[in-house]
Amino acid sequence: MLDDYSQYLHDNRYEDWATIKHDGDNINIRVKQDGDVIKNMLITLGSRTDDLVFVDVKGNFTLMISQK
């Protein structure tokens, strides 16, 4: 299953945005962009007990970066 998921991410040009590791648990955030617009965000939560949760967020999101 993970091999298929990895192939899907590669085939659909998802970019790694962040990986958070804590006490054996991992959170991975990957996005698919069209220019400055984020079209999809895939969040993968993996626990040290081998449980996996996939969250697929779809929409049109833009990044607002303020300069001070």
CA distance 52 to 26: 10
CA distance 42 to 17: 10
Q: Write down the residue that tokens 């617009």 correspond to.
A: 37
Task: Identify the residue with better confidence: 15 or 63.
Answer: 15
Question: At residue 19, what is the residue type?
Answer: T
pLDDT in tens, 2-54: 688 888 888 889 999 999 999 989 999 999 998 889 999 999 998 888 888 99
Question: At residue 37, what is the residue type?
Answer: V
* Tokens, residue 30: 């990957």
pLDDT at 1 over 90: no
pLDDT at 66: 67
Q: What is the pTM of this model?
A: 0.77
Q: Write down the residue that tokens 């955030």 correspond to.
A: 29
